[in-house]
Amino acid sequence: MVYRITVVGAGYLGATHAACLAELGFEVLGMDVDATKVAALSEGRLPCYEPGLEPLLRKHIESGRLRFTTSYGEVADFGDVHFLCVGTPQRQDSFAADLSYLDAAVEGLAPHLNRTCLLVGKSTVPVGTADRLASRVVELAPAGELVEVAWNPEFLREGHGVADTLAPDRMVLGIRTERAERVLREIYAAVITAGAPVVVTDFSTAELVKSAANAFLTAKISFINAMAEVCEATGADVTQLAAALAHDPRIGGRFLHAGLGFGGGCLPKDLRAFIARVEELGVDAAVALLQDVDAINTQRRTRMIDLAREQCDKTFTGRRIGVLGAAFKPNSDDIRDSPALHVAAAIQRLGAQVTVYDPKAMDNARAQFPLLSYADSAVEAANGAHLVLHLTEWQEFRDMDPVVLSAVVAQKRMVDGRNALDPAIWRSAGWTYRALGRP
């Protein structure tokens, strides 16, 4: 059967999923309650920067395989399979996940479901959510038990969304019936044939795979950042330490990059939501481990501020600081929980004049941090600076010639928060180069 597919929630995850399913040959209807977003997407415009996604979106708006709407009724009429891709941010009042968008999507859609269909959750949720939503859907939907739920967590990385969706490193199918498994295998047939390993499991395991994957990644980053502190106390070099560890295939080199720590719209809030959930479940050993991972990460930002102050001869008052990077990572314009902007804003509050430049995230940064100054290039941000901070490792900054910056700065001092610049090149151009975890 050729399924007609809907994707509820047209944010970063939903827009990527919708465009990729159209690319796999399906007719897709994307849905969002935000009419402005729907209007932009319908014209082939993405509300965020994601390499490769806008051309795919345009291609399938033009091919007619992809449309967007704000109507739950239209979604219910159109789709055989409905993917739920709405956000689950951190709650304002606690570490827990805010499930209000997901609940609203189910409450909005289910009353229109009057025939056999499959609802597939992709959002990151606390374990137990899929089970709760499955009961709620049967209560609300006119088709009752003909509406089934499955959980199919998403593992894509910003900046690699299209590739990670079309060629994922694994596919986790949380299902309760053979029918749900069959439908999902048919939808992902091309991806599975191309080699993606499939794990078929129950709802709780599927939900936990996602939480555990992100928790493991954060633990790996915080582990190497803890080692960076040990390196600083001993004069060792954390980048060489990590390179040596990486030769052990049991450890591996990825996500072993020491520096300012992790940020973004996923890892920090997913770690905290997981802490809140395991606390509720009373699993003390896991709570303690995850809390340490979070605490080590937060301390990186403080450590960066301390190192910057030290390089400003112990005071920020009256100092000009050029900040390179605002996005939470390169190849993204996402500034959610960005370590770079956290540090920039804190240093400004402590008395420095801070000027920020980022290749893609300037509009978002200006909107959220209007009191910081902004420049149109790295050279302009560094103009007159007593200290330059490298906080997001864009290729443009890695390729920068220190001699060019030397001509505009007041003092040749660089603190590399991402351990991504070559100290030898900067030092030979006469700069004082400092980094977290290196002599």
Q: Active-site positions?
A: 266
Output 329 or 413, the one with its CB closest to ligand UGA: 329
Q: Is residue 221 near ligand UGA by the rule CB under 6 A?
A: yes
Contacts of 283 (CB under 8 A, 6+ apart): none
Output 57 or 266, the one with its CB closest to ligand UGA: 266
**Given the structure tokens 């159209």, which residue do they identify?**
22
Q: Is residue 121 near ligand UGA by the rule CB under 6 A?
A: no
Output 79 or 268, the one with its CB closest to ligand UGA: 268
Q: Comparing C-alpha atoms, which of 101, 67, 65 is closest to residue 84?
A: 101
Residue 279 CB, shortest distance to ligand UGA, in Å, is: 20
Q: Is residue 208 near ligand UGA by the rule CB under 6 A?
A: no
Q: Is residue 209 near ligand UGA by the rule CB under 6 A?
A: no
Between CA 77 and CA 301 the distance in angstroms is 49
Selected binder of ligand UGA within 266, 276, 381, 385 (CB under 6 A)? 266
Between CA 405 and CA 433 the distance in angstroms is 13
Q: Is residue 264 near ligand UGA by the rule CB under 6 A?
A: yes
Output 65 or 300, the one with its CB closest to ligand UGA: 300
Q: Is residue 328 near ligand UGA by the rule CB under 6 A?
A: yes
Name the residue type at position 200. V
Residue 104 CB, shortest distance to ligand UGA, in Å, is: 20
Residues 352-381 that bind ligand UGA (CB under 6 A): none
Name the residue type at position 281. L
Task: Assign 3-state DSSP to the chain and report helix, strand, coil percentages, each to 5.
Answer: 50, 15, 40
Residues 281-310 that bind ligand UGA (CB under 6 A): none
Residue 429 CB, shortest distance to ligand UGA, in Å, is: 26
Output 270 or 358, the one with its CB closest to ligand UGA: 270
Q: Sheet with 353-357: list strands edge to edge.
A: 373-374, 353-357, 320-324, 387-390, 413-416, 432-435
Selected binder of ligand UGA within 262, 426, 431, 433 (CB under 6 A)? 262
Q: Is residue 267 near ligand UGA by the rule CB under 6 A?
A: yes
Between CA 360 and CA 26 the distance in angstroms is 32
Q: What is the DSSP letter of 418?
A: T
Contact mark string toward ligand UGA, 149..188, x via CB under 6 A: -----xxxxx------------------------------
Of the candidate spans 91-99, 106-114, 190-198, 264-272, the one that interacts with ligand UGA by CB under 6 A turns out to be 264-272
Q: What is the DSSP letter of 124?
A: -
Of the candidate spans 32-40, 262-270, 281-289, 361-369, the one that interacts with ligand UGA by CB under 6 A turns out to be 262-270
Between CA 297 and CA 303 the distance in angstroms is 10
Selected binder of ligand UGA within 125, 256, 354, 414 (CB under 6 A)? 256
Of the candidate spans 45-53, 64-72, 135-143, 257-265, the one that interacts with ligand UGA by CB under 6 A turns out to be 257-265
Q: Is residue 7 near ligand UGA by the rule CB under 6 A?
A: no
Between CA 276 and CA 342 the distance in angstroms is 23
Of the candidate spans 99-107, 181-189, 253-261, 341-349, the one that interacts with ligand UGA by CB under 6 A turns out to be 253-261
Instruction: Enumerate the H helices of 80-202 as residue ranges.
Output: 100-109, 129-140, 161-166, 178-187, 189-193
3-class DSSP assignment, residue 299: helix
Between CA 383 and CA 357 the distance in angstroms is 12
Pairing of strands 320-324, 117-121: unpaired
Element (H, E) at 203: helix 203-234
Contact 123, 84 (CB under 8 A): yes
Output 102 or 110, the one with its CB closest to ligand UGA: 102
Binding residues (CB under 6 A) for ligand UGA: these are 124, 154-158, 214, 217, 221, 255-257, 259, 261-264, 266-267, 270, 328-329
